[in-house]
């Protein structure tokens, strides 16, 4: 039986934010289909690791990170997302004036284009979104609101779970999912 390569392989990662060492010599391997939790005290670098993996500016990273056999560190943030990496933020951003339905459809169509699939029409997206929302026991009214604008903390998390459900990432990183 062939052993598959890991979906995420972090070796000897050392991260700095400016001149400040956040963590050093961190190694971690995750196989496809596995679930893992990284726990630790505040300030240990859990959110920093999430940010580094998704390509956020402001960090210097030593070591290596492979995502699904590719050098993750050589990829731009949007390429990481298109490859199937998803981050549910600790503090999701509010985007007043941008409709949630428009935002979700634009994100899904960007991923579909990258996968060589046709874009999904608005009416078809509405049907698809409502199916996902029913599975998540979410009020369809979320679609008519601005992205996270005026959402409670729990509503923001549910909205990110909806994004994750629609985008079907290969790897989802859930930062502070317990909130």
Summarize pLDDT for 101-122 with one digit per residue, the tens.
999 999 999 999 998 999 999 9
Give me the pLDDT at residue 153, please.
86
| The pLDDT of residue 170 is above 80 | yes
| The pLDDT of residue 5 is above 70 | yes
Overall size of the chain counted in residues: 179
What pTM value is reported for the model? Answer: 0.86
DSSP state of 34: -
Q: What phi and psi, each to the nearest 5 degrees, are found at residue 158?
A: -65, -40
Tens digits of per-residue pLDDT, 65-106? 999 999 999 999 999 999 999 998 888 899 999 999 999 999
């Amino acid at each position: 039986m062939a052993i598959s390569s890991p979906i995420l392989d972090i070796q000897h990662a050392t991260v700095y934010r400016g001149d400040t060492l956040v963590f050093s010599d961190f190694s971690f391997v995750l196989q496809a289909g596995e679930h893992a939790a990284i726990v630790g005290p505040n300030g240990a670098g859990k959110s920093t690791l999430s940010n580094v993996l998704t390509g956020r500016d402001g960090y210097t990273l030593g070591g290596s990170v492979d995502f699904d056999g590719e050098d993750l560190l050589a990829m731009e943030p949007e390429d990481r997302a298109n490859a199937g990496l998803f981050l549910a933020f600790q503090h999701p951003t509010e985007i007043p004036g941008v409709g949630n339905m428009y935002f979700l459809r634009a994100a899904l169509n960007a991923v579909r284009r990258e996968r060589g699939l046709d874009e999904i029409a608005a009416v078809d997206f509405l049907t698809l979104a409502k199916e996902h929302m029913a599975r998540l026991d979410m009020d369809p009214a979320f679609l008519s609101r601005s992205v996270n604008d005026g959402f409670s903390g729990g509503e923001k998390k549910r909205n990110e779970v909806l994004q994750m459900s629609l985008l079907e990432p290969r790897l989802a990183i859930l930062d502070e999912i317990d909130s």
